[in-house]
Amino acid sequence: MSTAVEVNDLVVRFQSKRSAVVAVTDVTISVEPGELVTIVGPSGCGKSTLLKIVAGLVKPTSGTVSLMGQAVSGPQKEIGFVFQRAALLEWRGVLKNIMLQAEIRKMDRAAATRRARDLIELTGLTGFEDALPHELSGGMQQRVALCRALLHSPRVLLMDEPFGALDALTREGLNEELNRIWRETGTTIMLVTHSIAEAVFLGTRVEVMSPRPGRIIRTFDVNLPKERHYAQIMSDPHFDQLASEIRSLLGSNASH
């Protein structure tokens, strides 16, 4: 089976009005099918840029990126993307917001509707199919965005600070929900976060990036049970050790 995501010797430079800015340098990451890899680092270190390159939305200055063994040279159909903001259409209900993905991709409508309803059930949104975004909490809106990203059964799901704008309790609840969805679907996930606790709680592996120009300064394997709940995991010595080591590595740039 091909590696899900392969990034080799990645360098990204942007040209500003004054000079060239190196956003990412010498980044190499390999993600196996079914892994949930989290990426943590200070603001501006290129975490989001890295995800956009994997998705084919940004072209690297040098280096190579492949998805399931195929070189990435433009936007990828096999990718699902969840951003920090749910970006739902205010005039559409939950089901119709999810089905936007089907319309854009010209999916079979009947099959996509069945898939959407299955995802609604999976994410605990049953009964809210017709609810408009302003009638939903922030956490529920992000669940809708997650359903939309999963509708076409992507081989790889990219998540860019998906819960960063939520309160701590809602965020923890959605972390547990994402862990459950990942276990049940087997989707390969790359997730960017500022939160060390979130990175360790969710990840099978944590990639730590340096301040800009961003590079991988250390990789941590997370040896915790696949099924995770905050009440148990937060008291696990391995969790505490990993979080402390990552926080020490990032120093003043660290976030809880």
Q: How confident is the model at residue 1 (pLDDT cuts 50, 70, 90)?
A: low
* pLDDT > 70 fraction of the chain, expressed in percent and rounded: 98
Q: Which pLDDT score, from 0 to 100, does residue 21 have?
A: 83
Report the DSSP beta bridge partners of residue 66. Answer: 6, 71
* Stretch 149-164: mean pLDDT: 92
Q: Is the pLDDT of residue 50 over 80?
A: yes
> Does 3.40.50.300 match the CATH number of domain 5-78+154-253?
yes
Alpha helices, DSSP H only, in the chain? 47-54, 94-105, 109-122, 138-150, 168-185, 196-202, 230-233, 237-250
Q: Which residue has the higher pLDDT, 219 or 170?
A: 219
Q: Is the pLDDT of residue 47 over 80?
A: yes
Write out pLDDT tens, residues 231-252: 899 889 999 999 999 999 988 5
Give the whole-angstrom CA distance, residue 88 versus residue 253.
32
Eight-state DSSP code of residue 210: P
Q: How confident is the model at residue 115 (pLDDT cuts 50, 70, 90)?
A: very high
Q: Which pLDDT score, from 0 to 100, does residue 229 have?
A: 93
Average confidence score pLDDT of the chain: 91
Q: How confident is the model at residue 32 (pLDDT cuts 50, 70, 90)?
A: very high
Domain ranges of the chain: 5-78+154-253, 89-153
Sheet of strand 205-209, all strands in order from the earlier edge strand to the far edge: 79-82, 156-160, 188-193, 36-40, 205-209, 216-221
Q: Cα(first)–Cα(last) distance of the chain, in Å?
A: 36
Q: Which pLDDT score, from 0 to 100, does residue 256 have?
A: 52
Give the whole-angstrom CA distance, residue 63 versus residue 82.
25
* Stretch 25-32: mean pLDDT: 94
* Stretch 167-194: mean pLDDT: 92
Q: How confident is the model at residue 253 (pLDDT cuts 50, 70, 90)?
A: low
Q: Which pLDDT score, from 0 to 100, does residue 167 have?
A: 86
* Stretch 206-233: mean pLDDT: 93
Q: Which pLDDT score, from 0 to 100, does residue 239 have?
A: 94
Q: Is the pLDDT of residue 255 over 60?
A: no
